Amino acid sequence: MPYFETGAVVLHEMPHVDESGRTGAPVISDVKPMVVVEDGPDVTALFIPAGTPTILARPTPRDRPKPWAPGEFELVESSWSRWNALFLMRPSDWHATWLRWQHGFLVRDLQLDLVVAPDRTWRWKDLADLERSVELGVISEPIAARARAEADAVIPRIEQALQPFDSTWLAWRPRRSWSIPTLGAHHAGQSVDWAGQVV
C-alpha cells in the first residue's frame, strides 16, 4: 500500500483484542482523526490538535477497571482536549504495533506506557491495567513479556537521548494551513474488522 501524503487526514483506530477468544472478534474501541506529518519506511508521524473530535470507549459502569470487554463499554463522541500531540511510530519497533488500512492505521494498545517529560525523566503508567489484562487472558503472558521487554529496551534510549527522544522533533510545528481534522462521513456508523475491512 502506498504511503500517505503530508497533510492527509487519516484515522488512528484501536481495536479491542481478546487473545483468549472469549469475547469474539476484535471491535473498534477508539477512533482519532489525525494529520499525516510524515509517512515512510522509517517513521510515521501523525499530528492531533487539541479540540479534534474523536470516538472513545467509556466503561459501563463508569468505575469498571480496564480491560473492558465488548459489552462492558460504549462508544461515545468526545474530543482530544489534552494538548496538541505528535505521534511517532517506527514500523520496526514493537512499541507501536499497527496495521495499515485504506483510511489510516489500526493500532493495538498493550496497556503498558512510559510517560517521558521534556527533561527525559520517565515514569511507568498503566502497570495495573497490563496485569489485569494478563489475569483475564485478554493479553497472553508471552505478549505481555514482550511488551515489558520492549519498554525496558526503550528506557536506555530515553536516558541517552536517542531518537525519537533527541531534539529532532522539538522544533516541529504544524502547518498554519492545517485545520482540525474530522472523523468524516465515511466512518459514521461503520466498524472495521481486524483485517481492515469496513463492515
Q: What is the CATH number of the domain that holds 27?
A: 2.40.380.10
What is the 8-class DSSP label of residue 70?
Answer: T
| Interatomic CA distance for residues 54 and 81, integer angstroms | 10
User: Does position 34 have pLDDT exceeding 90, yes or no?
Assistant: yes
What is the 8-class DSSP label of residue 185?
Answer: G
pLDDT of the residue at 2: 83
Residue 145 lies in a domain: yes
In the numeric block, which cell numbers belong to residue 159?
Answer: 536516558
**Backbone angles phi and psi of 134, in degrees to 5:** -70, -45
Residue 199 lies in a domain: no
E-strand ranges in the chain read: 9-16, 27-39, 44-48, 52-59, 73-80, 85-89, 98-101, 104-107, 113-116, 122-125
Q: What is the mean pLDDT of the chain?
A: 84
User: What residues make up the domain containing 115?
Assistant: 9-172
Residue 69 lies in a domain: yes
Q: What is the mean pLDDT of residues 109-134?
A: 90
| Interatomic CA distance for residues 138 and 130, integer angstroms | 9
- In the beta sheet, which residues pair with residue 57? 75
Residue 185 lies in a domain: no
Q: What's the number of domains the chain is made of?
A: 1
Residue 3 lies in a domain: no
% of the chain residues with pLDDT over 70: 87
Residue 155 lies in a domain: yes
User: Does position 170 have pLDDT exceeding 90, yes or no?
Assistant: no
Confidence of residue 147 (pLDDT cuts 50, 70, 90): very high
Is there a contact between 165 and 116 (Cβ–Cβ < 8 Å)?
Answer: yes
Residue 96 lies in a domain: yes
Residue 186 lies in a domain: no
pLDDT of the residue at 101: 54
Taking alpha carbons only, the member of 149, 106, 110 closest to residue 133 is 110
User: Does position 199 have pLDDT exceeding 70, yes or no?
Assistant: no
pLDDT of the residue at 163: 85
pLDDT of the residue at 109: 84
| pTM given for the model | 0.79
Is there a contact between 48 and 35 (Cβ–Cβ < 8 Å)?
Answer: yes
